[in-house]
Structure 1
Amino acid sequence: MSTELPIVMPLVVLCGLLAVIALALALGGPKRPPPLASINDPFKSVDTSDLPALRYFTARDDTPLAYRRYAGALARTRGSVTLIHGSSATGVSMHSLAKALAAAGYDVIVPDMRGHGASGDKGRIAYIGQLEDDLSDMLDELQPLAPRTLLGFSAGGGFALRFAGDARQLAFDRYVLLAPFLHQSAPSTRKAVGGWAHVGLPRTIALVMLNGLRIRAFNHSPTIAYALTPEATAKLTPQYAYSLMQNFRPHDDYRADIRAMRQPLEVLVGADDEVFLADTFAPVFADAGRVVPVTIVPGVGHIGLTLDPAALATIVGVVDGQRQEALTPTVSAS
Structure 2
Amino acid sequence: MSSTVSPMADVKVLETAADLSALREEWEELASRCPEHRLSQRYRWAAVAWRTVAAPRGRRLHILTLRSGGRLVGVWALVSHLDKGLRVVRQLGAESSEYTEPLVEPGPHQGEWFERLWKAVRPLGDLLFMPHVRSDSPLARLTGRFCLRCFVDNELNAPQILRAAYPDWEAYLATVTTSHRSNLRRKRRRLSDLGKVTFRREVTPVDPATIDAILAHKQAWIERRGYHNEWLAQREYRDFLCAMTSDPQAPGSLCLFLLCVDDTPVAFQIDAVDDRRIEGLIGCQDPAWGRYSTGELLLQDSLQWAFQHNRDIDFRIGDESYKSAWARLDCLTFNCLVGLSLRGMAVVWLRKIAKGLQTLRFRLGLGRLRHVLRRR
- Is TM > 0.5 for Structure 1 vs Structure 2? no
Over alpha carbons, which structure has the higher Rg? 2
Q: What TM-score comes out, normalization by structure 2 length?
A: 0.29
Q: What TM-score comes out, normalization by structure 1 length?
A: 0.32
**Higher strand proportion, which one?**
2
